[in-house]
């Protein structure tokens, strides 16, 4: 396309669920309840971990940071979705769209890395119990959390710059619920092949490598657990790992389908559902997964309920 025909897009329109006009109020109510439940569930978990001395261990330190991260993660997308459903305006400025995408990538990358750190914590606790407190001291735990947040920042800055430096020349309707790379590519007026490859490479780095590390950790963990002589010991070890493993499967499963599947096999409807799954549904159920399957958290909640 000749350069003179290019126009600068200053805002986008997030179509979201505009194809369901009769369900806008219902969807607003559903997503409001989900957002409140996420904030409430995560806040209770953070509060319990903070005040109960029995939970001042590396495992719950990481779980508390993970809960805070998921509050940030859902807050990147849900408030905007609720505003769009309430006002029906659906417009988002170019800059706000870039900021939302960048924030989403930072939180998503940090979650991948923090899930890996949590798997490493379980690996050390079960395979090297005598050295656990020495290896996973507070300084190391803080460094691992900070690294999880900061490692992806320069990569995601470059990724976001690449995506939003594309030429957008007119079509500005994003057929998605939030700003993200895959639904933005069809709106670009230039060849997006190189940038699409770059997005897939970054997704491979932050999805595949952590997942392989988590998988390797759990293979070693399961091998060690099966060698334990007591049945109660095996049961306790499995219970401390099963919650984390369920969260990993939910998050990585939906996220990898969105970012790693070929563009030709994607549909806008399935992409929206999967995006909602890993950004909203999984964070909503995570507090239940961690609390209902964890005797320490249940005991801590039991102490608080009478008060």
199 to 41, 206, 257, 295: CA distances (angstroms): 33, 11, 14, 41
Q: Mapping DSSP to helix (H, G, I), strand (E, B) and coil, where does residue 13 land?
A: strand
pLDDT in tens, 58-99: 988 998 999 999 999 999 999 999 998 898 888 999 999 999
Give residue-wise pLDDT tens across range 234-253.
Answer: 776 676 677 777 778 777 77
DSSP state of 89: -
- What is the longest distance spanned by two Cα atoms in the chain? 75
Q: Is residue 279 part of a domain?
A: yes
* 185 within domain boundaries: yes
At what angle are helices 231-260 and 268-276 packed, to 10 degrees?
140
Mean pLDDT (whole number) for 262-276:
67
Of residues 179 and 170, the one with the higher pLDDT is: 179
Rg of the chain over Cα atoms, rounded to whole angstroms, equals 21
- Expressed as residue numbers, the domain containing 294 is 9-304
The answer to whether 224 and 195 are in contact (CB under 8 A) is no
Q: Could you tell me if residue 56 is left (phi over 0), alpha (psi between -120 and 50 degrees) or otherwise beta?
A: beta
Instruction: Calculate helix-pair angle for 58-87, 138-150, nearest 10 degrees.
Output: 30
Using CA atoms, how far apart are residues 34 and 32, in angstroms rounded to an integer? 5
Judge contact between 126 and 221, C-beta under 8 A. yes
Beta bridge partners of 11: 93
Q: Does the residue 4 lie in any domain?
A: no
pLDDT band at 167 (very low <50, low <70, confident <90, very high): confident
- The answer to whether position 69 is within a domain reads yes
Q: Is residue 148 scored above 90 in pLDDT?
A: yes
Count of domains in the chain? 1
Is 2 part of a structural domain of the chain? no
Q: Is 93 helix (H, G, I), strand (E, B) or coil?
A: strand
- Percent of the chain clearing pLDDT 90 (strictly above): 31
Domain assignment of residue 3, yes or no: no
Please check whether residue 181 is in contact with residue 197, taking contact to mean a CB–CB distance below 8 angstroms: no
> Rounded to an integer, what distance in angstroms lies between the CA atom of residue 72 and that of residue 265?
30
Domain CATH code at residue 58: 1.20.1070.10
Please report the DSSP string for 33-62 in residue order.
Answer: HHHHHHHHHHHHHHHHHHH-GGG-SHHHHH
pLDDT, averaged across the chain = 83
Q: What is the DSSP letter of 19?
A: T
134 burial level (CB within 10 Å; 0-12, 13-18, 19+): exposed
Q: Quick check: 103 and 201 in contact, CB under 8 A? A: no
Q: 3-class SS at 174?
A: strand
pTM of the complete model: 0.86
Does some domain include residue 189?
yes
The answer to whether the Cα torsion of 122, 126, 128, 132 is positive or negative is: positive
């Amino acid at each position: 396309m000749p350069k003179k025909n290019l126009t600068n897009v200053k805002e986008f329109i997030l179509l979201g669920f505009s194809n369901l006009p009769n369900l806008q109020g219902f969807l607003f109510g559903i997503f409001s309840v989900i957002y409140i439940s996420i904030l409430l569930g995560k806040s209770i978990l953070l509060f319990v971990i903070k005040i109960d001395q029995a939970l001042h261990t590396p495992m719950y330190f990481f779980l508390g940071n993970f809960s805070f991260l998921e509050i940030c993660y859902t807050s990147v997308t849900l408030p905007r979705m609720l505003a769009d459903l309430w006002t029906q305006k659906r417009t988002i400025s170019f800059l706000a769209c870039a900021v939302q995408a960048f924030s989403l990538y930072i939180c998503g990358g940090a979650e991948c890395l923090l899930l890996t750190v949590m798997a490493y914590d379980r690996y050390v606790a079960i395979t090297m119990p005598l050295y656990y407190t020495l290896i996973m001291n507070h300084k190391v735990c803080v460094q691992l959390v900070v690294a999880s947040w900061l490692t992806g920042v320069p990569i995601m800055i470059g990724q976001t710059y690449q995506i939003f430096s594309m030429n957008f020349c007119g079509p500005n309707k994003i057929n998605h619920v939030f700003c993200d790379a895959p639904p933005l590519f069809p709106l670009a007026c230039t060849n997006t092949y190189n940038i699409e490859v770059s997005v897939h490479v970054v997704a491979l780095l932050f999805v595949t490598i952590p997942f392989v590390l988590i998988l390797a950790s759990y293979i070693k963990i399961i091998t060690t657990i099966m060698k334990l002589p007591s049945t109660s010991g095996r049961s306790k070890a499995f219970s401390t790992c099963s919650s984390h493993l369920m969260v990993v499967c939910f998050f990585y499963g939906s996220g990898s389908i969105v970012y790693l599947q070929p563009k030709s096999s994607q549909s806008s409807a399935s992409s929206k559902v999967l995006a909602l799954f890993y950004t909203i549904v999984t964070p909503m159920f995570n507090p239940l997964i961690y609390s209902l399957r964890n005797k320490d958290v249940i005991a801590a909640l039991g102490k608080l309920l009478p008060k």
